[in-house]
Structure 1
Amino acid sequence: MVPTLAEATAVRAIDSHTYAVDFDPEWCVGSVPHGGMVTSAILSATTTHFRTTLAAQNQPHTISLHVDFLRRTQGGPATLTIREVKLGRQTSIVHVALSQNGRDEVVAHATHSNMDVESGLSLHTGWSLHPPPPPLPADFATLATTGASGDANWVEETSRPFAESRKVCNRVRTFLPRGGQVMPGIVDEWLRLESGDKFTNESLGLASDMFPSVITDLWGCGLNGKEGDAPPFWHPTVLLNLDIKRLLPPGGAEWLFVRVRPKCLRNGRMDLEVVILDQAGEVLALSHHVVLVVSPERNLAARRVGQNKI
């Protein structure tokens, strides 16, 4: 049976500062666990740590996360070791090292606070998505039941390029603008977990890294002199930042809106700006990535134990 996102990212305490997780192949891209799923596992570990070992801090919520993907992870067991960097009255910071086979593969810094008791200055900034997406919100009841027929503005993505090697794509239902994206290089989408489970605060790691490739639209849009379909690429994340602005409801959220946009793709390296909204169009989280664009063979290449190459 395919594990749900909560099951795939659940951690088990080994001791007060060490946690175990098991990455299921169904949540992989090729042979590599999906970066957003790994990010959600890190969020699960830090949340557990602040709920148990650091319960006295009363800072249960991750407000920011920085993740460096040092090397390719792989399916199977992994260990997350947490070290306190700063314990403060308003915020605390921990360092997380995710290791497999005795080697650190991913490292992260998480800042925790208590968003339930935050206070201070709040101002409207006038910011909005530009160019605007198709009308929000969608007709969620219609989308959930009709899928491919969709509603007036949104329709389910049913044909995913290279889906056979991207098993993780089968774990999430993606709904795209019926009339196409508002411009090349922008991806607007509504996400819903295939299992029917609701997104939690820890699920924002997955949502920040789950979207169709922006390269597909940019390839044949007339800006780059390319013709035909884009060849397959693998997009390993070098680093990911996540800034969480507000909490999801206690029971979670069935739908999340995501906009993804790069500003520059040059010499096989790309930035990604990710905006995550709730069903009412309020900002939940912002994310920024540095991504490599490489041959898919790199995903499946033999691992060089003891060496530092990705």
Structure 2
Amino acid sequence: MVASFVEATGVTAVDSHTYAAKFDTEWCVGSVPHGGVVTSVFLRVAATHFCTTLAAQNQPHTISLHVEFLRRTQEGPAKLVVRDVKLGRQTSTIHITLSQDGREEVVGYLTQSNMNTEAGVSLRTLWYLHPPSRPPPLDFPKLFVGGEDPHWIEQTNRPSPKFRKVSNRVRTFLPREGQVALGLVDEWLRLESGERFTNESIGFVSDHFASVIEGLWRNERSDTRLPPFWYPTVALNLDIKKILPPEGVEWLFVRVRTKCIKGGRMDLEVVILDQMGEIVALSHHVVLVVGTERNLAARRNGQTKI
């Protein structure tokens, strides 16, 4: 039976500053746990840590995250150790190290606050999606069941679904008439299990999208077949703007865009909106573009690098 998202990103306290997780094969890309799943595990550790060990801080919400992927993670158990870096009245910052088999593989800093009690200036800006996206679905249940929306259609031809197993855990809806620009992907997401997205899910959402380089590749190459690439994340930043309701939300919109792909490395800018068009989170990634053999290569001396 396939693990649910909550199960796949679940954490258990070992002591006041140590947590255990277990990465499930069905939430992997090849042999490597999906980077968004790892990021959501970091968010769950922070949420658990600030409602138990640091409950007195009254700072339940992650507002900022920076994660560095040092080495490939793998299926199975993982240990996450928390260091309380700064405990403050308005914000607090923790450092998390994820290790497997004695290898430090992922490290991150997370800043916590209480978005319900934040005080200070709030101003409307003139920001909007440019170029504008296709109109959002008018009837989300109808889109989900029958794909009848005139502007959006479910992605059914998932590339390499046996390699990118995690893609089977999400239902992705793309513009029926194609993306509005090259190097850009707009999508509506829904978890295949029917689970709802919560703030801890945002890490996963920020790192799950259809290939952003496919259109660019076909635009420049005479051979339009995209090679079997793997896109390991080197660094991921997340700026969370909004608290999702406790019961979660069924749908989120994602726009991902790259500005420069050079030497096997690309940037990604990610915008996450809710059904009302409000910004939920902003994210920026540094990503490598490498062959899938790098994902499946045997580990050497217990210190496998990406």
**Band the TM-score falls in, shorter-chain normalisation:** over 0.9
Mapped partners of 1:151, 1:124: distance in 2: 31
* Aligned with 1:296 (options 292, 295, 305): 292
For residues 81-120 of structure 1, the aligned pairs below 5 Å read 81-120=81-120
* Aligned with 2:243 (options 240, 244, 247): 247
- The residue aligned with 1:266 is 262
**Following TM superposition, by how much is the alpha carbon of 1:307 offset from its aligned partner in structure 2, in angstroms?**
3.7
CA contact (8 A) 2:71 2:303 kept: no
Mapped partners of 2:86, 2:260: distance in 1: 35
For residues 221-232 of structure 1, the aligned pairs below 5 Å read 221=219, 224-232=220-228
- The residue aligned with 1:14 is 14
**Following TM superposition, by how much is the alpha carbon of 1:225 offset from its aligned partner in structure 2, in angstroms?**
4.0
Q: Sort the Cα spacing of 1:31 and 1:286 in 2 relative to 1 into closer, same or farther, 3 A.
A: same
For residues 128-207 of structure 1, the aligned pairs below 5 Å read 128-146=128-146, 149-207=147-205
Mapped partners of 2:112, 2:150: distance in 1: 40
Mapped partners of 1:227, 1:134: distance in 2: 29
**Following TM superposition, by how much is the alpha carbon of 1:227 offset from its aligned partner in structure 2, in angstroms?**
3.1
Mapped partners of 2:37, 2:237: distance in 1: 14
Mapped partners of 1:138, 1:66: distance in 2: 35
Mapped partners of 2:293, 2:303: distance in 1: 18
Mapped partners of 1:271, 1:107: distance in 2: 20
CA contact (8 A) 1:137 1:279 kept: no
Partner secondary structure for residue 141 of structure 1: helix
- Number of residue equivalences: 306
Mapped partners of 1:212, 1:50: distance in 2: 34
Partner secondary structure for residue 237 of structure 2: strand
For residues 64-79 of structure 1, the aligned pairs below 5 Å read 64-79=64-79
- The residue aligned with 1:286 is 282
TM-score, reference length from structure 1: 0.97
CA contact (8 A) 1:69 1:105 kept: yes
Unaligned runs of 5+ in 1: none
Deviation by residue 1:171-201 (Cα, 9 ceiling, x = unmatched): 0000000100001111000000000010010
**Following TM superposition, by how much is the alpha carbon of 1:139 offset from its aligned partner in structure 2, in angstroms?**
2.2
Partner secondary structure for residue 288 of structure 1: strand
**Following TM superposition, by how much is the alpha carbon of 1:280 offset from its aligned partner in structure 2, in angstroms?**
0.6
**Following TM superposition, by how much is the alpha carbon of 1:137 offset from its aligned partner in structure 2, in angstroms?**
4.5
Partner secondary structure for residue 21 of structure 1: strand
Mapped partners of 1:116, 1:226: distance in 2: 53
Mapped partners of 1:17, 1:186: distance in 2: 40
**Following TM superposition, by how much is the alpha carbon of 1:150 offset from its aligned partner in structure 2, in angstroms?**
3.5
Which amino acid is 2:57 matched to?
Q
Identical-pair percentage:
67
TM-score, reference length from structure 2: 0.98
Mapped partners of 2:301, 2:105: distance in 1: 12
Mapped partners of 2:195, 2:302: distance in 1: 39
Mapped partners of 2:172, 2:23: distance in 1: 22
Mapped partners of 2:283, 2:272: distance in 1: 8
Q: Sort the Cα spacing of 1:112 and 1:226 in 2 relative to 1 into closer, same or farther, 3 A.
A: farther
- The residue aligned with 2:229 is 233
Which amino acid is 2:165 matched to?
K
CA contact (8 A) 2:137 2:152 kept: no
**Following TM superposition, by how much is the alpha carbon of 1:229 offset from its aligned partner in structure 2, in angstroms?**
1.6
CA contact (8 A) 2:101 2:302 kept: no
**Following TM superposition, by how much is the alpha carbon of 1:309 offset from its aligned partner in structure 2, in angstroms?**
2.9
Partner secondary structure for residue 179 of structure 1: coil
Unaligned runs of 5+ in 2: none
CA contact (8 A) 2:137 2:151 kept: no
Q: Provide the alpha-carbon RMSD of the alignment.
A: 1.0
Q: Sort the Cα spacing of 1:138 and 1:265 in 2 relative to 1 into closer, same or farther, 3 A.
A: farther
Mapped partners of 2:245, 2:155: distance in 1: 27
